[in-house]
Amino acid sequence: MNILVIGNGGREHTIVWKLSQSSRVDKIYCAPGNAGIASQAECLDIKVEDIDGLFQAARDKKIDLTVVGPEIPLSLGIVNHFEKNNYPIFGPTLEATEIESSKVFAKYIMDKYQVPTASYRVFKDYYQALLYLQQQSFPLVIKADGLAAGKGVLIIEDLPQAEKAISQIMKEHKFGKAGKRVIIEEFLTGEEVSMLVFTDGEYFLPITPSQDHKKISDGDQGLNTGGMGAYSPVPFFDNKTQEWVLKSIFQPVIKGMKKEGRKFKGVLYAGLILTKEGPKVLEFNARFGDPETQVILPGLKTDLIEILCATQEENLNQIKVEWTNQSSVCVVIASGGYPGKYEKGKTIVGLEDLLNKQDTMVFHAGTEKKNDKIVTSGGRVLGVTSWADTLTGAIEKAYEGVNKIHFEKGYYRKDIGKKGLNFSPGKNI
């Protein structure tokens, strides 16, 4: 099979890496890819939002299956375009992707199909939102309705901060069209867990749970990012809780999306928070997470291409998915200044020390090749992923790998995975 993977981040590098292990895969292309992906796939200089260009590449390269990584092409209707022309593609349609691209729509689905989530109000008028905020107690959460690269969710501690946030989103248009509507919702406390499933719109198969680390600094301090690291599985998310989530969250949502005429095929991601009242949904994503993918796919024993094809062909009930019992940890190395302003073009050294290791893989995100050197080209630059029989072992190996890599002003958190180590059976999270 000839495969086209769309995207240029750590998630897409992980997908390419896993697909390259399949005996069914002959050739992998990636658009646009990065310096790490280029060692395992032929990179095509096509932007993820260039739907016509991507479709033309699929035709020219005789692609048997296209796999969409990021949310942008999904929200632009790439699946609809490919399916209209009878080209197999893995991912949800534009209509189904709205469960991620509109937080207001996601709340509508959760309300209608009785899925537990935070209480909320929706506003499209700045002054009404401001008046409502003046009557509330804090903390609370303000969310831009649309896609904002993982930065459109703000935890607000007091009224002046709330007024500033609403002004930035609705008057200054900090997130563009994503801020036409805002959700103001209650602030929930508890540990967050990422739970994903493969689904063909009828049947679904669970993916090993993971825990992301969204804040830039140790101890979950500072600004939100796209994710500074992750680990899997999650010790305090037991089988009983997982079964409840599958039955009470994923099942009604997948059935509900079909009833709404928005059949969801692909990977459905639920960002959960484990409250005292039980698990609740913070958000849905319509694709693999990043950096969750970097810790999930190393533990997949089943051929990934078989799962993707079965999902796309709507016979997922014929597939049995197997996972290893190992723990996996990914530590993201970011550019200094991220998620704010940062410099590009910094030479990365030490990557060669981690080539061909059996228990560690460096997944590239913001990298490119210039003058035979690999340099930084984004905020999140690399994800060092290691796996071992224990979480402690995986953490140690990941940081051993991180310490071999250097570039000017490179930054990483030093506490990835420690929440899992602090867990003890019976502890009330």
Identity (one letter) of the amino acid at 150? Answer: G
pLDDT of residue 107: 97
pLDDT > 90 in the chain, percent: 94
Strand order in the sheet with 140-144: 120-123, 182-186, 140-144, 153-156
pLDDT of residue 151: 74
Q: Give me the residue label for tokens 């750590």.
A: 10
Separation of alpha carbons 275 and 277, rounded Å: 5
Separation of alpha carbons 413 and 21, rounded Å: 30
Question: For residue 294, which of 236, 357, 229, 358 has the smallest C-alpha distance?
Answer: 229
Are 59 and 153 in a shared domain?
no
Separation of alpha carbons 350 and 402, rounded Å: 9
Are 317 and 206 in a shared domain?
yes
pLDDT of residue 175: 92
Is the CB of residue 308 less than 8 Å from the CB of residue 28?
A: no
Mean pLDDT of 269-292: 97
pLDDT of residue 424: 47
Are 335 and 221 in a shared domain?
yes
pLDDT of residue 359: 96
Residue-wise pLDDT for 200-211, tens only, equals 999 999 999 999
Question: For residue 73, which of 28, 10, 6 has the smallest C-alpha distance?
Answer: 6
Are 275 and 391 in a shared domain?
yes
State whether residue 288 is helix, strand or coil. coil
Is the CB of residue 109 less than 8 Å from the CB of residue 253?
A: yes
Residue-wise pLDDT for 5-52, tens only, equals 999 999 999 999 999 999 999 999 999 999 999 999 999 999 999 999
Identity (one letter) of the amino acid at 9? Answer: G
Strands (E) located in 238-365: 266-275, 278-285, 327-334, 360-364
State whether residue 395 is helix, strand or coil. helix
Separation of alpha carbons 263 and 93, rounded Å: 8
Whether 10 maps to a domain, the answer reads yes
Question: How far is residue 322 from each of residues 155, 176, 302, 319, measured CA to CA in Å?
Answer: 38, 42, 6, 10
For the chain, the domain total comes to: 3
Residue 200: give its domain's CATH number: 3.30.470.20
Question: For residue 307, which of 200, 232, 201 has the smallest C-alpha distance?
Answer: 200
Question: For residue 73, which of 99, 85, 91 has the smallest C-alpha distance?
Answer: 91
* Element of type H or E holding 160: helix 159-166
Mean pLDDT of 128-135: 95
Whether 429 maps to a domain, the answer reads no
Residue-wise pLDDT for 383-416, tens only, equals 999 999 999 999 999 999 999 999 999 999 999 9
Token pair for 420:
């899992």
Residues in the chain: 429
Question: For residue 237, which of 212, 214, 209, 213 has the smallest C-alpha distance?
Answer: 209
Are 223 and 167 in a shared domain?
no
Domain hosting residue 161, numbered range: 119-186
Average pLDDT, the chain: 95
Pairing status of strand 27-32 against strand 89-90: unpaired
Token pair for 194:
């990422």
List 67's β-bridge partners, or say none: 5, 90
The 10 Å Cβ neighbour count of residue 196 is 25
Residue-wise pLDDT for 291-346, tens only, equals 999 999 999 999 999 999 999 999 999 999 999 999 999 999 999 999 999 999 99
Are 61 and 173 in a shared domain?
no
Q: DSSP letter for 425, please.
A: T
Identity (one letter) of the amino acid at 141? Answer: V
Are 257 and 334 in a shared domain?
yes
Token pair for 336:
């200094």
- CA 225, distance to chain mean position in Å, is 12
Are 326 and 219 in a shared domain?
yes
Q: Give me the residue label for tokens 């996601």.
A: 106
Is the CB of residue 172 less than 8 Å from the CB of residue 106?
A: no
pLDDT of residue 223: 87
Give the confidence band of 427 by pLDDT, cuts at 50, 70, 90: very low
pLDDT of residue 71: 96
Of 128, 154, 186, the one marking the end of a domain is 186
Position 429 pLDDT exceeds 50? no
Are 267 and 376 in a shared domain?
yes
Q: Give me the residue label for tokens 């658009």.
A: 31
Are 86 and 159 in a shared domain?
no
Residue-wise pLDDT for 225-243, tens only, equals 999 999 999 999 999 999 9
